[in-house]
Structure 1
Amino acid sequence: MISILLASGFEETEVVTVFDILKRGDIEDVSLISVTGNRKLHSVRNLTIYAHGKIEEVDSKEQSAIILPGGKAGVNRLRSSIFVKKLVRDAYDNGGYIGAICEAPLVLEEVGLLKGYDYTCFQGMEKELETGNFIDKKVVVDRQLITAQSPSSSALFAFAILEKLKGKEVRKRIQSEWKGKCEEVSVNEE
């Protein structure tokens, strides 16, 4: 099972993009999990999403991956949850991958997972993190940890997670279906 942990104030691009790419990669057991007890959650831009389940219902031993989206208010709520910290730590200890994007590496540091790892995060936020080795790249994969910088890195983040879970061939197939590079934009202003 892959659980995307949500609290109101999450960055919607980082949630929806990751969910979509993992589902396209034939991962059936991707769930949006509320950490607040309320299944109705609101993003930073007030997009309403209904979670599939609640954190109390999640078994850490069944987790292939835990994904932590950014969004300052959402991350602060993740950080304040004892359930989140325990689930992340237990899933990691059981061999699961942990994905954290934007401000979410703050959660990784609080549970002691950044020490000895390369990571990335929202630019400038690395000053708030005391452990780990910050790498200024859109996505950094170091063993079980997958980190990314911002909403603009969401697709690359999701592809990195997909490759860890399903292999390079599946990742390449899904990425090719997107038909192009995420970074390229062409604007005609005539």
Structure 2
Amino acid sequence: MLKKAIVFLADGLEEVEAITPIDYLRRAGVEVTTVSIGSGEQVMGSHKIPIAADTTLEKLHVQGKDAAADWDAVVLPGGGVGSENLAASPGVGGFLKEMAGAGKLVCAICAAPAVVLAPLGLLQGRRFTCYPGMEDRVRGAQWSGDRVVIDGLFITSRGAGTAGEFARGIIGKLVGQAEADKLAESVLL
């Protein structure tokens, strides 16, 4: 059965943390839809690299494809400004709560675990990791210095340098460890 993942993109995102999971998930056969939370499809990364999203959150809503039942996983790239922009979006917050409530995979890297997931209460009682120093913003969860932390259906990671491992963890949960290992070998991860 084809697995489907949604990746939210916001201005100020860390480009590597967005593109690496998108690329690796697609290589592993996951149907990935990139969604700009802004008014247009183009998103500007923190290093001034423009990224073209497949659609916008508004268009996804109009099409009726913004329900947890439509997806198997959600991925949140980090970047300080990008994470703040994701956190400021009521549509993203509601979607994340719905995904968690439906038992779907929720994945966040860099600042996103602390800035986006924690304020929504989604890390409560869980193990997590994030960009070094951001863990002080999180209450009621257990921080780990591991590069990637998988706690049930939540996957968190530390930053741009761990993006490949983060994607591998997502693939392992979505399509199986054999596919994750195969991908890792093919890209020399």
Q: Do they superpose with TM above 0.5? A: yes
Query: What RMSD, in angstroms, separates the aligned Cα atoms of the two structures?
Result: 1.0
TM-score normalised to structure 1 length? 0.91
C-alpha offsets along residues 111-160 of structure 1, whole Å, 9 cap, x if unaligned? 11111100000011111112210001110000010000010000000000
Contact 1:18 1:155 in 2 (8 A): yes
**Cα offset, 1:6, TM superposition:** 0.8
1:37, CA displacement in angstroms? 2.1
Out of 9, 12, 35, the residue aligned to residue 33 of structure 1 is 35
1:9 is matched with which residue: 9, 12, 30?
12
The one-letter amino acid paired with 2:43 is L
1:60, distance to aligned residue in structure 2 (A): 2.3
* Residue aligning to 1:51: 53
* Distance in 1 separating the partners of 2:35 and 2:140: 28
Matches within 5 A, 1:75-90: 75-90=83-98
What SS is found at the alignment partner of 1:130? Answer: coil
Instruction: Give the Cα–Cα distance (whole angstroms) in 1 for the partners of residues 79 and 25 of structure 2.
Output: 20
Deviation at 1:92, TM superposition (A): 1.3
Aligned-pair identity in percent equals 29
User: 1:140 corresponds to which residue?
Assistant: 149
Q: How many equivalent pairs are there? A: 179
Distance 1:92 1:2 in 2: 14
Q: Tell me which stretches of 4 or more aligned residues in structure 1 moved more than 6 Å.
A: none
Counterpart residue number, 1:178: 187
**Which of 127, 137, 149 lines up with 2:158 in the alignment?**
149
Verify the 8 A CA contact 1:10 1:70 in the aligned structure 2. yes
Q: Which residue does 1:123 correspond to in 2?
A: 132
Distance in 2 of aligned mates of 1:172 and 1:91: 26
**Preserved CA contact (<8 Å) 1:61 1:90:** no
Query: Residue 166 in 1 paired to residue 175 in 2?
Result: yes
Task: Flag structure 2 segments of 5+ consecutive residues without an equivalent.
Answer: 61-65
Mapped partners of 1:33, 1:59: distance in 2: 14
In terms of Rg, which structure is larger?
Answer: 1
Q: Please, which of 108, 118, 122 is the counterpart of residue 109 of structure 1?
A: 118
